[in-house]
Structure 1
Amino acid sequence: MFLQSKVELFQLSESLEQALEHKHSSEFLSQLDVPAAQQLQAGCGQRSYKKGETIYYQDDEANYLYIILKGYAKLGSLTSDSSEFTYAIIGPGEPFGELGVYQKSFYADTAVALSPLEVFRIHRNTFFQLSINNLSACDALSRLVANRYRSYIRATRCVSMKNMSARLANTLLRIAEQIGKTVDMNGTEIECIGSFVTQTDIGYMARCSRSNVNRKLKCWERAGIVEIHDRSILLHDRKFLEQASSEGELEGSVAKF
């Protein structure tokens, strides 16, 4: 019997009741069967982090696999020129730190809390002891590593784009897919990126400065493509952003924005 959603895993313990509020699905947790989930929960420890606090640094020894209960975190690394590159923003139900745990080595990225953050962490020895006797745990971790790699490839393709408009549009769409919510605007559901994602964070993902992000967003706001409301970003014209995110579509009417 396998778990149908992360909610079923969280129901295994009263200490996880707060996670029932989350509406985000978790592919990693849904792949665990009930015995694996029970053993995993028994080996979990809970910890909180302040906004801006680093959970771990790139090249630290990878002792724990983390799962977010509340809040949001960003994952990134330093490039060859020592600049910061953020490739993912993740929220409730999402695991991180998996690559170092999978390799029993060091973290390949740096994880930082974007908001007050509560996580469960599982020591790698606990996880691998579980995976010896339970294939669902090993399979779940393997799929997580593969999905994270796919996410990283998407991010590197984005920053390789020559046009800043393409990079920014692509970044907004990826953030919306990763942690975006919808809000009702006069009866219409609009995608929204929360205010905890700063324009500096967006710049780290899109390979451009905060000032350039700000100028482009204001330009798009005047055109009705996005709207900045209480520091949140509403995506009014997804079709435009999808078109702009492809460098091949940046001629003519798209380029003027």
Structure 2
Amino acid sequence: MPPFTPATVVSALRAAGCVFAEDEAELILATARTPDELATMVDRRVAGLPLEHVLGWARFHGLRVHVEPGVFVPRRRTEFLVDQALARSPHASVVVDLCCGSGAVGAALAAALDGVELHAADVDPAAVRCARRNIAAYGGHAHTGDLFEALPGHLRGRVGILAANVPYVPTGEVGLLPAEAREHEPLVALDGGADGLDVLRRVVTEAPEWLAPGGCLLVETSERQAAVAAEAFTRAGLITRLAVSEELYTTVVIGVSA
């Protein structure tokens, strides 16, 4: 096969069904270092691998975040959660990124805060390896384990921002997700149980003992799940409110420790 040109890259991506073929081609061409690498990247994208996995990075909240195959790709809508956290706790000194995936949320928060103590945790070792790379520049610590079990005990009662981008797709709807997510991202990062809120409930139950006075828990959810999620926050003793972005089509539940 002759070497790819910009036009042939666009054509290959468009034929594979990539809606934004021109934009994706520009990113692939800018990232590939050799003709062979370019050909491999085009082949992987044509085969259905998420663009971010092909590139090895994703843009998130102004950062270039390293993303490895098999690791959850940070969504643009989750930037709204970061913005809400910064607005609520602009002087937080301890941040925890729970269910961290690539560590994008923690990295974005640390980049915006001054001298923060950052911890990220995930049950998936591949995600933790990826997160460790992304938060290293901020002196962050990455931990492997099931939710709060992964965190060092000295964080109890000290966390100013607890960001938990938990899985919230109902089990019965996972099969309806786009193939890029369904086939290339870990199920544990997508499946939230029967109503999508199983992991959220577990996080909310334990969160108060980890939050500092005035500290906040932020969890992304869907509009139809928001009311039930907010009730769980309130039952846990948190002062609760919802933040909604119509532009990004996302809802964040925010709970503040008394």
TM-score normalised according to structure 1 size:
0.28
Higher relative contact order at CA 8 Å, sep ≥6: structure 1 or structure 2? 1
Q: Given the two structures, how large is their TM-score scaled by the length of structure 2?
A: 0.28
